[in-house]
A and B are shown apart, each in its own frame.
Chain A
Amino acid sequence: MSNNIILISGNELRRLFKSPLAWIIFSVVQFLVAIFFYMPLMTYLQPGSVASGLTNNVVSTMYGFAAYIILIISPLLTMRLFAEERQLGTIKLLFSSPISITELVLGKFFGIVIFYILIIAMITLMPASLLFGATLDLGQILSSIIGLCLLATTLVAIGLFFSSLTTSPVIAAVNTYGILFLLLLIKIAASNSSERTAEIFTYLSLDKHYDNFLNGIFNTIDLFYYITLSVFFICLCIWRLDIERVYK
C-alpha cells in the first residue's frame, strides 16, 4: 500500500521539478516573502519604533503574508493533478494498473504536500537567519510553521478534489479559486449577522484559524478544522474517481 503511494508522489514531484513551474514558484514565492520579511525588519530596526517583539513584528508578519502567496499559487499547482492525467489519457494507465484509487489520490496529495513543505522550509530560512544575532520566540515560530503546513495541506486537498472533477486544468483552477475565496471572505458575512451566525461564519473562515497559529496559540479546534476539511475533500476525491468508472 505505502509503496504505491510513495511511487505516485515521487512521480508527481519528479514531473513537477522537471518542468520550470516548480522552480519558478520556488523563486517567486521566496522573492515576495523576502520583501515582506525585509520591510517589517527595517521598520523594527528604526529607532523609536513601537514594537511588541521581533517574533511578533517580523516573523509573524512574514508567515501571515506567505499564507496569502501560497493561497494564490496553490490552485495553479493542484489544477493539473487529475485534469492533466485525463487530458493526456494517462489516467487509463493508472486505472488499469494494480493500484487502488485511495493509493492514487493519497500519492498525488502527499506529492504536492511535500512540495509545500519544501517551500515552507525555504521560507523558514529567513527568520532562522535572525537567530545569529537575536533571540526569537521559537515556540511561536514552530506554531506558525505548523499552521502554514496545515493550511497548505487543506489547500492541496481542495485543489485535488476540483481537479478530479474535470478534464480541463483551467476549470479546475477557477473552481478552486472560487471555493478558496469563498472560505476566505466568509468572515465578512459575519460582520452583518447575528452573534450566533457570526460565530459559525467566523469558524468556517480559512484564515481565522491560521491567525491563532501565528500568534502562537495552538488550539485543537484549529487543528481539527484543517484536518477535517482535508479529509473531507480527499474522501470526496476518492469517491469521485470511484464512480467515474461507472457513470462516465
Chain B
Amino acid sequence: MIENKPLVSVNQLTRFYGKVCAIKDISFDINRGEILGLLGPNGAGKSTTMQIISGVLSANSGSVSIAGYDIQDSPKLAKKNIGFLPEQLPLYYDLTIDEYLLYAAKLRGIKKINLKEKIDICKERCGLENLGLRLINNLSKGYKQRVGLAQAIVHTPSIIILDEPTSGLDPKQILEIRELMHELSKNHSIILSTHILSEVETICDRVLIINKGNIVLDQHLKDLLSNKNSLEKTFLHLTENNKKINE
C-alpha cells in the first residue's frame, strides 16, 4: 500500500512575491528511488518550488505532502524526511566540519545512539573522512559544497533536495558529486535543479522543465530521448516558445 504511494506529492502550488507570480499551479509526484531533474531558465521558479517543498517558504495556495505528511499541517514529521541543500550553502564558517555536522544531525532529530555512526558514514560518503577538525571557512569551494551535501544526507532522509549542487565546481569535482548522487539514488529519492543539461542526461530518471512558473514538460528521460529529440533542443524549444507567447 505504502509502496505504491508517491513519496512526495506536490499539489497545485502557487506562490507570489508581492504581485509577481513565481510559480503557478504546479503539481507533480515523486516516487521512491526516483531522481528528478528540475530544469528551467533563470527566474523560472525552480528555487521557489524547492524551498516550498522543503518547508523554507510556504505557498500561497496548494499543498505538499512528504511520506504522507502535509508540510503545513505536520511540519515536524514531514521535515524529518527531507534533506535540503539550498543554492547558498547553509554553513557556519566558524565551526569545524565535525561540529557543524553534529549540529545539523541533532537538528534533524537523530537519536544520540546513532549520532556518531551516522556522521562517520556521511563523512565517508562525501569524502570528508580526515577533515573533521578543519574549520569550514578554510575549505575550498568544492569541499564546502561537500559539507553542504553532507548536512543534507546525514540523517538519511527519504528525499534529498539539491538546488544547483554542482555550481561553481571544477570538472573533476562535478564528476565526483555526480558519482555521489548516483550512489545516493540507490537509497534515496532526489530532486535536483541545474542549468547543465548533460548533468540531467547522465543522472536523472525524469525531467521537469519549468518556465515562468509553469510546468512545460514532465517526462521520463528515456521516453524523451527515444523520440529522437535531444534534451537541449526540447529545452530550448519549450522555453523559447513560451517567451513568444508571453510577449
Contact = CB atoms under 8 A, between A and B. Distances in A.
A97 B108 contact: yes
A100 B95 CA distance: 23
B93 A88 contact: yes
Interface size bucket, B side?
Answer: 20 to 34
Nearest to A244: B57
Given A15-B95, A19-B94, A92-B90, A97 B107 contact: yes
Chain B contact residues, majority secondary structure: loop
A48 interface: no
B45 to A, nearest CB: 14
B58 A246 contact: yes
A9 to B, nearest CB: 12
Nearest to B72: A245
B118 to A, nearest CB: 15
Contacts of A196: none
A35 to B, nearest CB: 32
B104 interface: yes
B54 A11 contact: no
Nearest to B93: A88
Interface in B95-120: 95, 99, 103-104, 106-109
Interface string A14-37: 110011000000000000000000
B71 to A, nearest CB: 10
A100 B54 CA distance: 14
B90 A89 contact: yes
Interface centre among B88, B107, B109 (most CB of A within 10 A): B107
B80 interface: yes
Interface string B143-156: 00000000100000
Contacts of B92: 15, 88, 90
A17 B92 CA distance: 14
A18 B75 contact: no
A99 B107 contact: yes
Contacts of A100: 75-76
A96 interface: yes
B91 interface: yes
Given A88-B92, A246-B60, A96 B99 contact: no
A94 B108 CA distance: 9
Interface centre among B17, B76, B77 (most CB of A within 10 A): B76
Given A89-B86, A89-B88, A93-B151, A98 B76 contact: yes
Interface size bucket, A side?
Answer: 20 to 34
B21 interface: no
Given A92-B56, A93-B104, A98 B77 contact: yes
B123 interface: no
A96 B60 contact: no
Contacts of A19: 94
Interface centre among B90, B94, B108 (most CB of A within 10 A): B90
Nearest to B94: A18
A88 B84 CA distance: 15
A98 B67 CA distance: 14
A87 to B, nearest CB: 10
A18 B90 contact: no
A39 B90 CA distance: 49
A92 B107 contact: no
Given A19-B94, A92-B56, A248-B17, A98 B108 contact: yes
A19 B99 CA distance: 14
Nearest to A19: B94
B55 to A, nearest CB: 6
B79 interface: yes
5 contacts: A88-B90, A89-B88, A92-B84, A99-B107, A246-B58
User: What are the nearest 10 A-B pairs in CB distance?
Assistant: A89-B88, A93-B90, A96-B84, A98-B79, A97-B107, A96-B54, A98-B76, A95-B56, A90-B90, A245-B58
Given A92-B90, A93-B86, A95-B55, 6 more contacts: A92-B54, A92-B56, A93-B90, A96-B84, A99-B76, A99-B107
Interface of B: 17, 51, 54-58, 60, 75-77, 79-80, 82, 84, 86, 88-95, 99, 103-104, 106-109, 151
